[in-house]
Structure 1
Amino acid sequence: MIKFCEAFLRHRKMVAIVFALAAVACVLCIPSVKVNYSMTDYLPADAPSVQALDEMEAAFDGGIPNARLFVEGIDQAKAGQLAGDLASIDGIDEVMWLGTVADTKKPLAVQDEGTVSTWTTDDGYVFQLVVDPGKAVAALDEARATAEGTGASQVSLAGDAVNTASAQSSTAAEIIFIMLVAVLIVIVILGLTSHSWFEPVIFLTVIGVAIVMNMGTNLVMGEISFISQICGAILQLAVSMDYAIVLLHTFRRCQREFPDPYEAMAHAMKRGFSVVLSSAAVTFFGFLSLTVMRFGIGVNMGIVLAKGIVFSFLAVMFLMPCLILLWLRALDRFEHRYLMPSFDGFARVCQRAMVPLAVLVILVAVPAFLAESRTDFKYGASDFAPPGSQTALEKEHIRDAFGASSTWVVMVPKGDPAREKALADDLESLDHVTGVTSYVTKAGQALPVEVAPESTVQQVISGGWSRFVVTLDVEGEGETAFSLVEQVRATVSNHYGDEGRLAGAEVSVYDLRDTVQEDSGRVKLFSMLSIGLVLALMFRSLSIPFVVLMAIEVAIWINLAVPYFLGESLNYIGYLVIDAVQLGAAVDYAIIYTREYFERRGQYPPREAARSAVKHSAITILTSASILVCAGLAVWQIASNGVISELGALIARGAFVSMLMMFVFLPWLFKTFDWVIRHTSMGLRFREGEPDTIEEEGVAHA
């Protein structure tokens, strides 16, 4: 392999040019990558709500209202004119207002009070809009401008389409800001932990090329989710930095043995290959575990993150050696005194605290395990708008004026007016159902379809289906909404068996909940088995993977239990994603510590091997974990999307807890299970008894 590396390095300029051209090509592809901001679009095709929506869209022109527009300070005449203007906006497929359900030519005082109060107050009128998700940003902006153009005193928007459009509008600018902050963080941390001021330039160039290649090649996927777009680059930057650090440190050690820099780099590539490959492999499989989900966002994010690890590995192993040699003069010129202190004192503190903290971790582990699955989970887009944002305030304002409101659609085979009338009556009798509109409620059971007004028929009967529009006084997800989904489905089933269909925002979230809950065990099993297998092959041990994964899993339990003990809700997407991300990142720290520990276990008994391993692995683990912690905090503070912000906090806290586990709990586990590891491992040396002097270590590694 040395000859291959030497031959490869002779073409270092050509390699750098190839990577540069690939990066430029990928940069040009990035603007063409489509981003999907809908969570329900990623439901499996066989989900009942997805089938219902597909059949409804095929049979009827109108969809389900996904936005409410409250316009204050206008009279009924202006409201009627505004309804027509809104309907003409590209991206708004349907508009419903008071005039849709009541005869506005008659005095409102003589009409049904419940109907009137649903659509108007003394302050203004509310409009329900069916907005095309692909055109939501422009359509809603134009709708707001059109409403304000009537002379309205206040205009408010709310609904799933509004949440999605708000997230879409803010994402592009936030990604750039988050990456700039992350880069500054990396420069500061690497500047403190490096031997040359030029090292961060090399690191960021190599990982930057890998990130650009990953983002550009997302084009072949057709589209990516908004979570993949925002988190993909920042996670790739934070997680992949380990590989670059390992290779550069290996090169520095090889320089002491081989004066010729090209020969030293060839040996560094050979020695670092297995280390970087093993770290990349466990992270790759940790991220790839997301692809076993039936929920498409997990699959999408798993592919994007795993692909990013592949590009980072290729860039570190093939581009970085070439750049180091090309920029070696600058690297040496800007060399500075090592700024970090010795970690011997830190290692001794960790050793003294190891037993009491290990006992504390064990005591906390069981409650954390029980709590992490009992958190109040959210599943849909309701968390997109953080509290205090304009979107959240306007939603609350509309709810104060008109109460909670949502619209569902029930579809049944047409042609049986008696059954339809019975179904309509049963639906209206359910709690929280405020109205049911269908052919039999608009035209009457006795009026044949053939003689009914065409405008009436087209709205409720088409494509072999009879449509019921069900209005409710619930909004968003929650036990009330989910219980109502079950009741409506049961009511439809009582009359039509499995021939009925139900669609609506809350219905989709209900199916989303069921899907992601089923995915949890599948993701956990795949990630644990795949990473455990890689660790078993890497260390040639049956027990080391169990010990390492035990420490990481406890860290994950603690991280995910925090929202429960704080009484906070947690989006289930973050729950699933952080499980794989924290496992993939933390296993890197574990590999670094485990290698150091078993290298020293052949010279020292468990206690001293643990202390020495902490001393020598601390700088690498602290550097990598600090980058991930700070990057997560940046996402948490900057992202306006509540789901993304929440995920950033989970990543930061998870990296911090995992880092602590590597210094305290994992050393204690290795010491406790030393006998088991000795008898279930191959090729590892174990020393019995105490070393003659502690200083032996310094002599051995001098």
Structure 2
Amino acid sequence: MSNSIMRKIAKFIVEKHIIIMLLFVVLVIYSALSISKVRVNDDITALLPPKTATRRGLTVMENEFTAFASANVMVSNITCEKAAELAENLREIENVATVSFDDSSEHYASSSALFTVAFSAESEDERAIDALEQIKDSLSDYEVSVSTTVGQDYVKQLAGEITQVLILALIVIAAVLLFTSKSYFEVIILFIVFAVAAVLNMGTNYWLREISSITNSIAIILQLALAIDYAIIFCHRFQDEYDRQRNVKSALTDSLAYSIIEISSSSLTTISGLVALMLMQFRLGYDLGLVLTKGIICSMLTVFLLMPGLIMLFHKALLKTRHKNLVPNITGWGRLLSKKVPVFLIIFAFLLPAAIVFSAKCEYTFSDSETDRITLSEQDRIKAHIYNTFDETNMIAVLVPVGDYTKEKALISEVNGFPGIRSALGLASIEIEEGRVLTDPYTARAASELLGVDIETAKLLYALYGYEHDSFQPILGDSDAFAVPLIDMLEFLFEAKDRGMITLDDDKEQMVESMRGTLDDALVQLRGEHYSRIVFNAAVPVEGEESVALIENIESSARKLYSENGKTELSEDAIIVIGDITSAKDLEDSFRMDNNRVSFLTIAFVFIVLLFTFRSLGAAVLLILVIQSSIWLNFSFPYITGTNLFFVTYLIVSAIQMGATIDYAIVLYNRFQLRKQDYAPKQAMAIAVNESFSTILTSGTIMTAAGFIIALRTTDLYISSIGLTLGRGALISVILVLTVLPQVLLVGNKLIEKTMIDFKKLLGGGADEQEKLDETK
């Protein structure tokens, strides 16, 4: 019944191929126009679970504060005195807010000076970009290294790298397809099909709210590696059917009907792994899993609907350019694997325990700075050069309730005494004069001396302030004792001037406007509607017990201070501490849950698909065992080579490797079961290895090559790590499937047969028994 339905569907597609092709033209145009509208987010912290402190804190900062750009500028081979002169020159550059430099080891070491520059504009702002260019011009006579995000278009840079990766991958894939194809023109049809599927997938990303830059970059390569098999299966099936029938339409109809079932079944294991990935707390898994699942669906629909029309159009070229099979016959290798002594299985049995132990010892990292990089960008090299001379510091932002300057000052004073804290920046730390900060209370006389205005004007200003704020002490009481935080008085001064309540001469006017600009820059960065922000610089690593303890101590001190030693109850969001350290800690916590969840669900989903596909408990267990072993072997390499691995690489690659490379094992198992109908198990296996070799070689080589090219040609930490590990995993899976799996299946052949399950009988058994009972009556 199902075959009859599939043939009707296939016949309809073949007969209506012109209409379907026109529909695809419309879809491709729509998708191509939509690609530029896709929102791409290059902030990986946006993918953190929303309940984490880091995500909550970042949301607050995005809503309440402005983050101005900064740069670390290192000048080598210079004296400290000359560096001090350069610092003064840099401060004169327009839109440079501050330049931090002194003779401490934080700023001068090994005849090198490190200037910490803060701009009065954001990273993408032309003012910051122009200021950075002026800094470079002013230091052009020196050996300079500049580490900054100013003017750095990360998404554009990554897009350029991925374009190179795609070109190289297509060259390799073309070579592989030419080698394993049956017709030269077949390669052109395959590339057309893939191009259409890729455009459809990229264009429909517009339907999603936004996608991560990581997904945006590697989805097209992974879609190619995961789904190009579908087009190959259909194309080869058509050519086989045409050789048998010698009729294009009939061959297309039969081959399509068969391929819809085969390809849909094959895709289920891959989709299973991707669905498990989508259940990660860290939303990169959901993001990548969703886009790749959509990509596989786009690929299948393109193969089922568009490819028959392409073959109808180009069948003459397809058939005229057929060539002899270039894939070597490896039946002899299959016979070797079928000998009495399963050498590879014995080796595998020794390697497996070590792989399990070594993979469990793989060191995972949760931050950029702690992860071993495969390739370095120019900015990575500059950072490494700077941090080889100066200690790397990490910023810790503390968000506290707005308005209590006394507590802010007390908190800054307390935290400055913690080990590792180098500096602090907050409204209550901006020094106005020796021993006095911006938030300290000033009397009218002290303010007049600081601001350079006469005492009468200052007293008038204070009286106006008291009147506006319902405080009559400066009017009716002791005006000399009335003190107001300087920051509040300055804001009132600007307001009073704007309202015409006071007038100033030209010199004072210019000074006040200069102060207004400086204060406004500070306020947008450090004071929001509900929170004040205090930023500490700490010379501690991003990961480790020392860093976590520092974060906990800072939060504890803040909560103790603002709750007045527990007298006032504070909500979870009253005090928020965030930074790279908290981000790494949150990612580590999510990994503990995601690791077990993704691993278990991937295996469970794939197991269920295999069980219902092959109807053998033993077959499902053996196939999964071999592929899971390839995953263990894959993640043993970091431990063996003494390198670490970014945690998300493990979660993504283990799910994709299980879901995708299990297909290699399925191809071999299917051929083995088919040939067992006519041959003894050992001879059947020898034939099965040879017949499945071309498919496994094509799929495995494409995924391996794509992974390694991604790793070697992209400088993004996450993408290169995923590429290397996926490429290595695909290669290991191919090796195990062509060496160990045949011997596992031969040894486990009786187990496979004894654990066969007849689902129809199992589900319908009750009805059969009832029928027998009725007959006896």
Q: Could you say which TM-score interval applies, normalised by the shorter chain?
A: 0.7 to 0.9
**Aligned ranges 1:7-156 → 2 under 5 Å:** 7-62=12-67, 67-70=71-74, 79-80=87-88, 82-83=90-91, 85=93, 87=95, 95-98=97-100, 114=104, 118-119=106-107, 124=113, 126-129=115-118, 135=124, 142-152=130-140, 153-156=142-145
Which of the residues 300, 322, 327 maps onto 2:309?
Answer: 322
CA contact (8 A) 1:378 1:572 kept: yes
Measured at CA, do residues 466 and 22 of structure 1 come closer, stay the same or move farther in structure 2, by a change above 3 Å?
closer
SS of corresponding position for 1:156: strand
The answer for the alignment partner of 1:434 in structure 2 is 422
1:157 to 2:146 alignment: yes
The answer for the alignment partner of 1:637 in structure 2 is 712
Deviation at 1:132, TM superposition (A): 8.5
1:447-495 C-alpha deviation (Å, 9 max, x unpaired): 4894323449946555343433212113544555445334434444554
1:182 to 2:186 alignment: no
Which of the residues 600, 615, 622 maps onto 2:697?
Answer: 622
Structure 1: which 5+ residue stretches go unaligned? 89-94, 100-107, 685-702
> One-letter code of the match for 2:554?
V
Which of the residues 309, 331, 334 maps onto 1:347?
Answer: 334
**Aligned ranges 1:199-210 → 2 under 5 Å:** 199-210=186-197
Q: Distance in 1 between matches of 2:122 and 2:309?
A: 46
> One-letter code of the match for 1:126?
F
Deviation at 1:440, TM superposition (A): 5.2
Deviation at 1:584, TM superposition (A): 2.0
**Aligned ranges 1:294-305 → 2 under 5 Å:** 294-305=281-292
CA contact (8 A) 1:167 1:384 kept: no
SS of corresponding position for 1:503: strand
SS of corresponding position for 2:73: strand
Deviation at 1:232, TM superposition (A): 0.8
> One-letter code of the match for 1:397?
H
**Aligned ranges 1:422-501 → 2 under 5 Å:** 423-438=411-426, 441=429, 443=436, 447=441, 450-453=484-487, 454=490, 455=519, 458=523, 462-474=528-540, 476-477=542-543, 480-495=546-561, 496=563, 498=572, 499-501=574-576
CA contact (8 A) 1:191 1:197 kept: yes
The answer for the alignment partner of 2:659 in structure 1 is 584
Normalised by the length of structure 2, the TM-score is 0.78
1:489-518 C-alpha deviation (Å, 9 max, x unpaired): 444455456432112233223222322332
Deviation at 1:605, TM superposition (A): 4.2
Deviation at 1:49, TM superposition (A): 1.4
Measured at CA, do residues 4 and 42 of structure 1 come closer, stay the same or move farther in structure 2, by a change above 3 Å?
closer
CA contact (8 A) 1:49 1:507 kept: yes
Deviation at 1:312, TM superposition (A): 0.7
CA contact (8 A) 2:375 2:715 kept: no
CA contact (8 A) 2:374 2:711 kept: no
Q: Distance in 2 between matches of 1:451 and 1:357?
A: 79
1:338 to 2:360 alignment: no
Q: Distance in 2 between matches of 1:408 and 1:86?
A: 28
Q: Distance in 1 between matches of 2:113 and 2:653?
A: 45
Q: Distance in 1 between matches of 2:636 and 2:84?
A: 52
**Aligned ranges 1:169-318 → 2 under 5 Å:** 169-318=156-305
CA contact (8 A) 1:625 1:659 kept: yes
CA contact (8 A) 2:35 2:202 kept: yes
1:409 to 2:397 alignment: yes
CA contact (8 A) 1:67 1:131 kept: no
Measured at CA, do residues 488 and 666 of structure 1 come closer, stay the same or move farther in structure 2, by a change above 3 Å?
farther
Measured at CA, do residues 170 and 46 of structure 1 come closer, stay the same or move farther in structure 2, by a change above 3 Å?
same
1:233-280 C-alpha deviation (Å, 9 max, x unpaired): 111111212112211222223224423221111111111211100111
Deviation at 1:36, TM superposition (A): 2.0
Deviation at 1:437, TM superposition (A): 4.2
> One-letter code of the match for 1:470?
F
The answer for the alignment partner of 2:454 in structure 1 is none
1:509-545 C-alpha deviation (Å, 9 max, x unpaired): 3222322332122222222222222222222233322
Deviation at 1:304, TM superposition (A): 0.9
Deviation at 1:223, TM superposition (A): 2.4
Q: Distance in 2 between matches of 1:247 and 1:57?
A: 50
Which of the residues 671, 674, 677 maps onto 1:602?
Answer: 677
Q: Distance in 1 between matches of 2:63 and 2:12?
A: 61
1:188-236 C-alpha deviation (Å, 9 max, x unpaired): 1111112211111111111121111111111112322222122211111
SS of corresponding position for 1:135: coil
CA contact (8 A) 1:167 1:640 kept: no
> One-letter code of the match for 2:626?
A
SS of corresponding position for 1:595: helix
Measured at CA, do residues 462 and 186 of structure 1 come closer, stay the same or move farther in structure 2, by a change above 3 Å?
closer
Q: Distance in 1 between matches of 2:575 and 2:752?
A: 59
The answer for the alignment partner of 1:374 in structure 2 is 361
Q: Distance in 1 between matches of 2:336 and 2:12?
A: 47
Which of the residues 570, 574, 578 maps onto 1:503?
Answer: 578
1:110-163 C-alpha deviation (Å, 9 max, x unpaired): xxx65xx54567754512447988838x7875454221122442442336x47x
CA contact (8 A) 1:39 1:381 kept: no
Measured at CA, do residues 127 and 199 of structure 1 come closer, stay the same or move farther in structure 2, by a change above 3 Å?
same
> One-letter code of the match for 1:363?
F
Bigger mean CA offset, 321-330 vs 531-540: 531-540
SS of corresponding position for 1:338: coil
Measured at CA, do residues 85 and 523 of structure 1 come closer, stay the same or move farther in structure 2, by a change above 3 Å?
farther
1:358-390 C-alpha deviation (Å, 9 max, x unpaired): 222222222222322432223233359756643
Deviation at 1:81, TM superposition (A): 5.8
Deviation at 1:309, TM superposition (A): 0.4
SS of corresponding position for 1:537: helix
Measured at CA, do residues 18 and 339 of structure 1 come closer, stay the same or move farther in structure 2, by a change above 3 Å?
same
CA contact (8 A) 1:482 1:510 kept: yes
Deviation at 1:670, TM superposition (A): 2.4
Q: Distance in 1 between matches of 2:700 and 2:592?
A: 29
> One-letter code of the match for 1:574?
T
Q: Distance in 2 between matches of 1:517 and 1:622?
A: 36
Q: Distance in 1 between matches of 2:754 and 2:484?
A: 84
SS of corresponding position for 1:32: coil
CA contact (8 A) 1:354 1:665 kept: no
1:394 to 2:382 alignment: yes
> One-letter code of the match for 1:87?
N
Structure 2: which 5+ residue stretches go unaligned? 431-435, 443-482, 491-518, 564-569, 760-777
> One-letter code of the match for 2:746?
K
Deviation at 1:336, TM superposition (A): 1.5
Aligned CA RMSD, in angstroms, stands at: 3.1
CA contact (8 A) 1:49 1:502 kept: yes
CA contact (8 A) 1:71 1:147 kept: no
> One-letter code of the match for 2:99?
W
Measured at CA, do residues 133 and 331 of structure 1 come closer, stay the same or move farther in structure 2, by a change above 3 Å?
farther
Q: Distance in 1 between matches of 2:545 and 2:134?
A: 37
Deviation at 1:184, TM superposition (A): 1.3
CA contact (8 A) 1:636 1:648 kept: yes
% same residue = 26
The answer for the alignment partner of 1:527 in structure 2 is 602
Which of the residues 636, 640, 652 maps onto 1:561?
Answer: 636
Measured at CA, do residues 632 and 464 of structure 1 come closer, stay the same or move farther in structure 2, by a change above 3 Å?
closer
